[in-house]
A = this chain, B = another copy of it.
Amino acid sequence: MIRLFVPNPLAAGADIAPSPEQTRYLTGVMRRAVGDQITLFNGADGEWRAVLAEVSKRGCVLRVEAQLREQAIGPDLDLVIALVKRGRLETIVEKATELGARRIRLAITRFTNADHTNVERLRAIAIEAAEQTGRLDVPQIVAPEKLDRLLDDWAPDRRLMFCDEAGDARPVLEAVTGAGGSSWAVLIGPEGGFSAEERERLRAQAYVTPVTLGPRILRADTAAISALTLWQAAIGDWRELATP
């Protein structure tokens, strides 16, 4: 079943005009025809069954039929990721979406060697990953900010899991389980790690939980995926049984 994110309100009987890209995908790539069903979500109104009601040269019409799932939102988990090379950053956005991050913030740190990225492209990747993974929302992608600025404005009731390559941090499962709090963020540094000043500032904050990700050196994308996985398994939405 094809699953598409649309910006429109969803309600029974509504007619939706998908974007030109979605139309090409539906009718060109996937060869869907009038009468075929697809699934829609918009991040607000849950998941709906729709039917391809019209196909013409000018586009197509999706008629919304019935709600399949009520809107729901996962745990309050952000990812703060230093800018890394494009390919790895795109992997991280795709995976963070699958792993249920609610928001992805891009950080400029001492050892990042870029200060911008194609945020629109990352948003498109997040939408595609959300469609594929079955989420009812799309993670927000926040444009790059300096790490210092980001910490200046940090709301102290959001705990920050700081993946510290150096130092004597505790394993994630142990560290986060006892830390309390339900709003969290995971912080992953650039390939060159954090500077001494950055580490010192982070470690001095009461809201920071330093953690280690095992005895081997991980690339930034691996570290992000592993850290989000462990958080979800320890205190997030991976604790329940699968639904049969």
Contact = CB atoms under 8 A, between A and B. Distances in A.
A95 B217 CA distance: 11
Interface in A159-184: 164, 166-173
Contacts of A133: 216-218
B217 A225 contact: no
A101 B237 CA distance: 26
A158 B214 CA distance: 23
A168 B240 CA distance: 10
A239 B134 contact: no
A69 B185 CA distance: 36
A184 to B, nearest CB: 16
A100 B212 contact: no
Contacts of A216: 98-100, 133-135
Nearest to A97: B216
A164 B241 CA distance: 12
Contact of A225 (B171, B212, B215, B225): B225
A122 interface: no
Contacts of A22: none
Interface in A200-225: 212-219, 222, 225
B230 A214 contact: no
Contacts of A168: 241-244
Contacts of A100: 214, 216
A167 B164 CA distance: 37
A216 B138 CA distance: 13
Contacts of A215: 237-238, 240, 242-243
Given A95-B222, A133-B218, A213 B230 contact: no
Contacts of A109: none
A94 B225 CA distance: 13
A2 to B, nearest CB: 14
A242 B167 contact: yes
**Residue from the set A173, A229, A234 with the largest chain B CB neighbour count within 10 Å:** A229
A37 interface: no
**Residue from the set A94, A95, A168 with the largest chain B CB neighbour count within 10 Å:** A95
A222 B94 CA distance: 9
A170 B233 contact: no
Interface of A: 91, 94-95, 98-100, 132-135, 164, 166-173, 212-219, 222, 225-226, 229-230, 232-234, 237-244
